[in-house]
Amino acid sequence: MQHDKVLILDFGSQYTQLIARRVRELNIYSEIHPFNNPPKNVNDYKAVVLSGSPMSVRSKDAFHPDLSEIRGKKPMLAVCYGAQYLAHFSGGEVAESNTREYGRANLSFVKDNEVFLKGINTGSQVWMSHSDTIKKLPTNAMLLASTNDVENAAYKIEGETTYAIQFHPEVYHSTDGKQLLENFLVNIANVNPDWTPDSFVEETVDGLKAQLGNDKVVLGLSGGVDSSVAAMLLHKAIGENLYCIFVNNGLLRKDEFSQVLEQYKGMGLNVKGVDASKRFLDALKDESDPEKKRKAIGRVFIEVFDDEANQIQDVKWLAQGTIYPDVIESVSATGGPSATIKSHHNVGGLPDFMKLKIVEPLKALFKDEVRRVGGSMGMDKQLLGRHPFPGPGLAIRILGDITAEKVRILQEVDAVFINGLKEAGLYDKVWQAGAILLPVNSVGVMGDERTYEKCVALRAVESTDGMTADWVNLPYEFLQKTSNDIINKVKGVNRVVYDISSKPPATIEWE
């Protein structure tokens, strides 16, 4: 079944992925492409959205998209930078704003009887993020909306299905943002909203059957949501021809290796567990640099995985749980404007000696969509509700070098924290939680003796996609009990702190 698609041209905005997610919440399939490397055939797309950008259209280095195949030919929505670009280079004027327009604002004028603004009233809250402002609209433009500080907050080009907005509808702070996107995509561009989890499962399984035939596939399971959902899709398509390998890198949570193995067997998957803890810890000996730790873990995982894969006769494919943000974030700044934040060892980096073809059933999905797809296949809610856990595991939650004793301490601390969240009914209200072992010893008193032991930080965040996150205001009583339990039960820890920084500027993980 062919679905209508929406093309999002990325100019480097931190919110570009949010545009794609908002569009998909409308059951419409969307794809992000760098503005300077668009798809070869834009006719495959029903509508186009131009993203925001940290760049100024007034700069000599301003990004110049080629819109010749789009503008006037396809419905187009220009957001923030896109709106300023249309104005600046099409007969309007963009100037530096007297005050940086950033944060919440409210619409003070909304043009009546406009399909684009259906259901959106004066006073609706929007989110601004720009330092330039549109002083004069482009040729043939009609004003659609204003705020008190931004006169030209929304406009359309007459004679075209081209719309432009100075605010960000994709951000939660724009309370009617989803309505506006629906107005544009469904009511103006006539995009059919038929891309659902059920349709994804059906089409993906059929596609995998056609792609793989009777070939054997090997997949590295991590215990997380992505690899588990990928495994179930493949299992539906090829059954026993899927060989799953679950590697214990010695950096998993307490008892996770045995518990997850049991869970997978209950799902009917063909799984082999491999305990390679010593091999990983040996590779990490005396290494403190976070990126080098990631690379060492990635390298050893590939070596261990390759040893195991080579024991399977005639395997042709390597399956991976790559999801869409991995694909987007792994595009370098030279290939597109969105910069890589850190290395992903599940995109690229495979050695030549693993001469296997790659199959990635989830590479079109965001994390929340992966969960919905798993739910539509009837997968265990506990597994689908698991917090994200970093590929390098506890290695990037132990700041500094890794030892078996540090891993033991952190596993015990983490178990107290995570089990406490579950017992208090807080686990499902948190997007991700974990403990961090700090390279700090502090003075304490236990009994009548002074101690000089480790300090741990607890971290719990709320998020929908991991791109932005707020720290969770956990009840003081819970934090008090958790701190007491950790200090009393975990030998080697005498101080607990709680991380109250949000992303940005802080990341979710400490390394």
By the 8 A CB rule, do 297 and 249 touch?
Answer: yes
Question: What is residue 446's predicted lDDT score, i.e. its pLDDT?
Answer: 66
Q: Which of 457, 408, 405 is nearest to 436 (CA)?
A: 457
Phi, psi for residue 292 in degrees, rounded to 5: -70, -35
Residue 403: closest CA among 494, 511, 302, 278:
278
Active site residue 168: yes
pLDDT at 496: 96
Cα Rg for the chain, rounded, in angstroms? 25
pLDDT at 342 over 70: no
Q: Which of 80, 88, 235, 511 is catalytic?
A: 80
- In which element (H, E) is residue 30 found? strand 29-34
CA distance 431 to 428: 7
Instruction: Please state, rounded to an integer, the average pLDDT across all residues of the chain.
Output: 88
More confident residue, 433 or 349: 433
What does 212-232 look like in DSSP terms, one character per residue?
HTT-EEEEEE-SSHHHHHHHH
Assign 410 a pLDDT band (cuts: 50, 70, 90). very high
Q: With CA atoms as reference, report the closest residue to 272 among 245, 293, 298.
A: 245
Task: Name the band, by pLDDT with cuts 50, 70 and 90, for residue 450.
Answer: low
Count the neighbouring beta carbons within 10 Å of the beta carbon of residue 314. 6
Q: Measure Cα distances from 28 to 77, 115, 225, 230, 387 in Å.
A: 15, 19, 23, 21, 26
Q: Is pLDDT of 339 > 50?
A: no
Dihedral sign, Cα of residue 251, residue 257, residue 259, residue 261? positive
pLDDT tens-digit map of 490-500: 999 999 999 99
- pLDDT band at 368; cut points 50, 70, 90: confident
Is 33 known to be catalytic? no
Residue 156's SS3 state is strand
Question: Looking at the DSSP assignment, which residues form a beta bridge with residue 31?
Answer: 7
Query: CA 398 to CA 280: how far, in whole Å?
Result: 14
348 pLDDT above the threshold of 70? no
**3-state percent breakdown (helix, strand, coil) of the chain, nearest 5:** 35, 25, 40
Between the CA of residue 127 and those of 148, 166, 224, 383, what are the distances in Å?
A: 13, 9, 34, 35
Confidence of residue 61 (pLDDT cuts 50, 70, 90): confident
User: Mind listing the pLDDT tens digit for each residue in 78-116?
Assistant: 999 999 999 998 999 898 876 656 788 899 999 999 999
- DSSP assignment string, 388-438: P--TTGGGGTB-S---HHHHHHHHHHHHHHHHHHHHTT-GGG-SEEEEEEE
- The string of pLDDT tens digits covering residues 265-322 is 888 888 999 999 999 999 999 999 999 999 999 889 888 888 888 888 888 998 988 8
The two beta strands, 315-319 and 357-359, are: parallel
* pLDDT recorded at residue 336: 41
Q: Give me the phi and psi of 52, to 5 degrees please.
A: -75, -175
DSSP letter for each residue of 171-185: STTSTTHHHHHHIII
Query: What's the CA gap between 332 and 344, in Å, rounded?
Result: 12
Average pLDDT over residues 228-237: 95
* pTM for the predicted model, two decimal places: 0.78
Q: What is the pLDDT of residue 266?
A: 81
- Is the pLDDT at 30 greater than 80? The verdict is yes
Mean pLDDT computed over 137-164: 94
Percent of the residues in the chain that have a pLDDT greater than 90, as a whole number:
60
Say if residue 349's pLDDT is above 70.
no
Q: Note the residue count of the chain.
A: 511
Cβ-based neighbours of 223, under 8 Å, separated by 6 or more: 246, 252, 256, 260, 386, 389
Considering the candidates 101, 130, 170, 235, report the single residue annotated as catalytic.
Answer: 170
Residue 381 is predicted with a pLDDT of 86
CA distance linking residue 176 with residue 184, whole number of Å: 13
CB 395 within 8 A of CB 274: no
| Count of C-beta atoms within a 10 Å radius of residue 97 | 17
CA distance 192 to 4: 6
Q: Which residue matches tokens 């433009």?
A: 141
Distance separating alpha carbons of residues 416 and 418, to the nearest angstrom:
6
In Å, how far are 11, 32, 34, 121, 406 from 335, measured between CA atoms? 12, 13, 7, 40, 40
Predicted local confidence at residue 331, as pLDDT: 53
Catalytic residue among 88, 130, 168, 344: 168
Lowest mean pLDDT among 36-50, 257-271, 280-294, 475-489: 257-271
Tell me 42's DSSP state: G
170 is catalytic: yes
Indicate the SS3 state at residue 84: helix
In eight-state DSSP terms, residue 39 is -
Q: Helix, strand, or coil here: 478?
A: helix
CA distance 493 to 236: 46
The mean pLDDT value for 190-197 works out to 93
Instruction: For residue 261, name the pLDDT band (cuts at 50, 70, 90).
Output: confident
Cα-Cα-Cα-Cα dihedral of 438, 441, 444, 447, to 10°?
100
Q: Report whether pLDDT(388) > 60.
A: yes
